[in-house]
Amino acid sequence: MIVYSRSCYSKKLYYQLWLLDQKLFQIEHKTIYKTGQIIYPIKGRFNGLYFEIDEYKGYLTGFYNVIYNNMSDKRIGACSNMNYTKFIESLKTQLSLMYDPLDTNLTVMSISYWIIIDIDVQDLFYSHLIIHKLKYYNSNKIPKKKKGFIKFDYDDYSIEISICKHEKKKMKITLILKNIKRFKNLGKINVTELYDRNTLKRLFQFYFKKFDEILIVNRISANNVSNQKDRDLLRSFTSYGHWEALDKHTRARQKKVFYRLIDKYKLDAMNKVIRQLLLWEHEKFINH
């Protein structure tokens, strides 16, 4: 599901004049007393919509669960997925409260699904290695190094895996696109295009493409890898910093061996289960 999106206005001045004239939104800004000149940023919020204008650009961010919860008696819980019908209702509300939506391009977006697995997610973190593109997660990027949270952080996107506080077997896989225009296969997207199922299809295909770069494997032991030589190889392959130290030719060769051993001992069984659960949640989103 689309959790939130951020739109950037090309005509910042018109957007600013419109925003400062609104009485409905909670707008915060300061001016120089003698001249009346505005001191940036200008900020505002209203029922899940967040407005911001700096010296150069104007932005609007919509959090779709929050928008829906403010317009409906039936609330969507913090650890629940939104369906397509509710998303479209939220999007319509957002567009009705925007200045000229066609004058925008999406710059940031978050896509995620909650799923329920058959063990506590924290136990999964202890019993499995979670790797993205043969890299370990960025422990230094985790807010206050909180438990139940894993993050792979890059310049243009990040992938987060988190636990629901109240349901220990529920986990969320989130893809945050920090700079959509950098992904050529997505192209420029206007917020109104989120109505289009083909646009959503492209976004969700990209979500699953990034998930497929994640590897979730059992920690290596004599219980799951019987052959000592294979066990030693796998322990080497999953040791911290192993892949970064290799040149590209050695890396490519060892990667083939690594994936062959994973397949031989079925160490990625949970990886496949999680992917199937994500697909089911995605189908529920699209079909309801």
Model pLDDT for residues 108-160, shown as the tens digit of each residue = 999 999 999 999 999 998 889 899 998 876 544 555 556 678 899 999 999 99
Mean pLDDT over 207-227 rounds to 93
pLDDT at 69 over 90: yes
Token pair for residue 185?
A: 């296969």
3-state helix, strand, coil in the chain (%, to 5): 40, 25, 30
Q: Which pLDDT belongs to residue 140?
A: 46
Say if residues 181 and 107 touch (Cβ distance below 8 Å).
yes
Say if residues 217 and 129 touch (Cβ distance below 8 Å).
yes
- Of 65-69, 195-199, 259-263, the poorest mean pLDDT is in 195-199
Q: Which pLDDT belongs to residue 146?
A: 60
Q: What is the mean pLDDT of the chain?
A: 90
What residue type is 238 in one-letter code? T
Using DSSP, state whether 168 is helix, strand or coil. coil
pLDDT band at 191 (very low <50, low <70, confident <90, very high): very high
Phi/psi of residue 34, nearest 5 degrees:
-75, -35
Pairing mode of beta strands 128-132, 104-116: unpaired
Mean pLDDT over 18-25 rounds to 89
- Of 158-167, 181-190, 274-283, the poorest mean pLDDT is in 181-190
DSSP label at 186? T
Q: What share of the chain has pLDDT > 70, as a percent?
A: 95
What is the rounded CA–CA span in Å between residue 187 and residue 113? 23
Q: Which pLDDT belongs to residue 143?
A: 53
What residue type is 216 in one-letter code? I
Q: Which pLDDT belongs to residue 135?
A: 84
Say if residues 81 and 113 touch (Cβ distance below 8 Å).
yes
Q: What are the extents of the domains in the chain?
A: 2-220+267-287
What is the rounded CA–CA span in Å between residue 100 and residue 18? 10
Burial-class residue 129 by CB neighbours within 10 Å (0-12, 13-18, 19+): middle
Q: Rounded to two decimals, what is the model's pTM?
A: 0.91
Mean pLDDT over 265-275 rounds to 95
Say if residues 142 and 158 touch (Cβ distance below 8 Å).
no
Using DSSP, state whether 210 is helix, strand or coil. helix
pLDDT at 179 over 80: yes
Pick 185 or 180 by higher pLDDT. Answer: 180
